[in-house]
Amino acid sequence: MNGFILMLPLFFIRFVLLGWLNSTALKRGAHFAPMAGAQKIMYVLYQMTNVVLILFPLFLRVHGSAPLLVLGGVTYVLGAGILLAATISFAKPNEQGLNTTGSYRFSRNPMYVGYFVYFLGCAILLGSFFYYGALVLFQIATHWVILAEERWCSATFGETYDEYQQQVRRYL
């Protein structure tokens, strides 16, 4: 099976489902906080690794031993589930536009957690060291993007976000 098939649920959840649930949330999901200094470099790296993680599977096939296929499949489905739950929650912000309910009760960044687990499942199923490397770079860059988002959220939502930040972990 061509590896790009693995990307179809991602496109459906991130764009079709989110747009169907809340078109405003689809626009919010495309917004990135202003970047400063090294964050700009990491933002470029984030975008580049996104392209690699999504398009490189076009040139790969799902393969591996039965245990690796099971591990990869379970990780992939878990990531898709986390991403699905986070997307549904993201479509339902509070009156200020801040997400603090649903999966956002457990993580301030459940969509990013979902992306990581989803792409990790893809890496296992594709068995590509290059893909694993791209995923590591993606996660490093994502952390820097999240730091910029946190700064923006604090400036935008003030004390409400600061309290939320104290109560809920960044990742898990």
- What digits encode the pLDDT tens for the residues 95-131? 999 999 999 999 999 999 999 999 999 999 999 999 9
Residues 6+ apart with CB under 8 A from 57: 2, 3, 4, 6, 7, 122, 126, 131
Is 168 contained in some domain? yes
Q: What is the pLDDT of residue 42?
A: 98
Provide the residue range defining the domain that includes 86. Answer: 65-172
The tens digit of pLDDT for each residue in 7-62 reads 999 999 999 999 999 999 999 999 999 998 999 999 999 999 999 999 999 999 99
Q: What is the pLDDT of residue 67?
A: 98
Residue at 2 is within a domain: no
**Residue-wise pLDDT tens digits, 73-82:** 999 999 999 9
Domain assignment present for 103: yes
Domain membership flag for residue 114? yes
Residues 139 and 113: their CA atoms lie apart, in Å, by 9
Question: Which pLDDT belongs to residue 57?
Answer: 99
Q: What is the mean pLDDT of the chain?
A: 97
Helix axes 66-90, 110-126, angle to 10 degrees: 160
User: Percentage of the chain surpassing pLDDT 90?
Assistant: 99
How many structural domains is the chain composed of? 1
